[in-house]
Amino acid sequence: MSVDTLRLVVSSPDRPGIIAAVARFLHERGASIVELDQYTSEPGGGQFYLRTEFTIAPARRAGLAGEFATAIGEPFGMHWRFTDARQVKRIAILASRADHCLVDLLWRWRRGELAADITLVASNHPVLRDTVTGFGVPFHEVPVRHGARDAAEGTLADLLAGQCDLIVLARYMQILSGGFLEKVGVPVINIHHSFLPAFPGAGPYERARQRGVKLIGATAHYVTAALDEGPIIEQDVIRTSHRDTTATLVRLGADVERTVLARAVAWHCADRLLQYDNRVLVF
């Protein structure tokens, strides 16, 4: 029998009976739960979060959202959404000169390892054009000239309008304004080449070497108007030595950046990320 795979993500004030109510609702409609995760911020009065993935016969999907709103969503005061696992998210990637994170995402996408559709790549430099078009992905150059950032952001926002559900900054070395983030209206994920909150901003590997750190890392986070302070999605580290030059740290760090960014993007595309205050829950 043919079945569809759907996901349900909810948040609500915590109270007894939420999991039972959701499970019963799905069972009564012939759904089969294949995965369910939940988190309560504070037992006995916190905020409740849940992600479940389930299969259901196509004929039983009609009216599912409306029925859920009446039976579960409204009585429990929930924020909730259903998504279809077959409807992949559209990704636009922004990059500057470095290609390691960009190429890694394109490679995973081409091999079918990234459940998403990369719709375009935009850059403030032309150097990545041949690399990107070699993957069959449209490339757009949007220069950011000194004193003309607002104009460049306007051009970029117009280019992205209606083309993506997620923007990924694959070492895009430009600070995005709050106005731009509001205009594009979709989540933005950045990879920062440091184990935040250490060494935010530019030149983190240089500053890490100056401080003699024994670990360097990378951080994938959602972008907000505050530089490198958005909710952290994923991090990883690698050991270093006093013998390592800055160039060595850059090379070592590139491997961590690739994997951390790929994990964060994959989790977002699978609806595994929920924000709680300034934290990200990973289900």
**How confident is the prediction for the chain on average, in pLDDT?**
93
Coil vs helix vs strand at 10: strand
CA distance 221 to 180: 17
pLDDT band at 23 (very low <50, low <70, confident <90, very high): very high
Q: What residues contact 18, with CB distance under 8 A and at least 6 apart?
A: 10, 12, 48, 50, 76
pLDDT (average), residues 251-264: 94
Share of the chain above pLDDT 70, in %: 100
The two three-digit tokens of residue 266, written as one number: 């994959």
Short-list 203, 279, 186, CA closest to 246: 203
State the Cα torsion 63-68-69-71 to the nearest 10°.
120
Each residue's pLDDT tens digit, 266-277: 999 999 999 988
Q: Which domains does the chain have, with CATH numbers?
A: 4-84 (3.30.70.260), 89-282 (3.40.50.170)
Query: For residue 147, what pLDDT is reported?
Result: 78
pLDDT digits (tens, 9 = 90+) for 219-237: 999 999 887 889 999 999 9
pTM here is 0.93
Q: How far is CA 38 from the centre of its chain?
A: 20
Q: What is the pLDDT of residues 133-188, one digit of tens each?
A: 999 999 999 999 887 889 999 999 999 999 999 999 999 999 899 999 999 999 99
Residue from 14, 104, 228, 271 carrying the catalytic annotation: 228
**CA-closest candidate to residue 48, choices 34, 33, 38, 57:** 38
pLDDT value at 1 more than 80: no
E strands in the chain: 4-13, 32-40, 47-56, 79-84, 89-95, 116-123, 139-141, 166-169, 188-192, 215-222, 232-239, 273-276, 279-282
pLDDT, one tens digit per residue, over 36-92 is 999 999 877 899 999 999 999 999 998 999 999 999 999 999 999 999 999 999 999
Residues 6+ apart with CB under 8 A from 117: 88, 89, 90, 91, 109
99 is catalytic: no
pLDDT band at 208 (very low <50, low <70, confident <90, very high): confident
| CA 229 from centroid of its chain's CA atoms | 15
Q: How confident is the model at residue 120 (pLDDT cuts 50, 70, 90)?
A: very high
